[in-house]
Amino acid sequence: MKDILDEKEKILREKSLDVTFPISEERKKLVQDIIEFLTDSQIEELAEKYDLRPGMGLAAIQLGIKERFFVVVHEYEEGKFDNYVIFNPKLVSNSEEMIYVGEGEGCLSVNREVCGIVPRYARVTVEGYDQDGNKIRIRAREELAIAFQHELDHLDGILFTDRIDPKNPYKNKDLYREI
């Protein structure tokens, strides 16, 4: 798998382009590599063994590929994972309720400690396509909803740090629910 780009790379600020189908075998192989990487990074022994920072999601742009797709590997139970691969994703609905990650959001492209809250919707519905070009619709809540919003932002050239108020990193904290 290619190296994950650091936040200093200008391409991370660019808007990704829609993917055209069919997906190439090379792209399908990359998706499998990303799933394996993200899964391994969340299994403590493997993360230590291979010196991996834990990560739940990765957008293509983070690998320097300006295409609208991302992969999220969600550990829903100890050692059990669901994989989400969404091409040309769009947020089609969201809850009014807002949440944030109490310990702070992280990103595999941001290699520094960042303090502050990132307001996110508690529930979202995302539509897009699987790698075979079939239309998919996924409802997500809590940390999975946050991961989807985080990766969608990447596809629009937005980093989570952009969503933290620099003058008041914990602004309106009382208006949102901590998870």
Active site residue ranges:
151
Kindly write down the DSSP assignment for every residue of the chain, as one continuous string.
Answer: -PPPPPTT-GGGGSPPBPP-SSPPHHHHHHHHHHHHHHHHHHSHHHHHHTT----SEEEGGGGT--BSEEEEEEEEETTEEEEEEEEEEEEEEE-S-EEE-TT----TT--S---S---EESEEEEEEE-TTS-EEEEEEEHHHHHHHHHHHHHHTT--GGGGS-SS-TTTTGGGSEE-
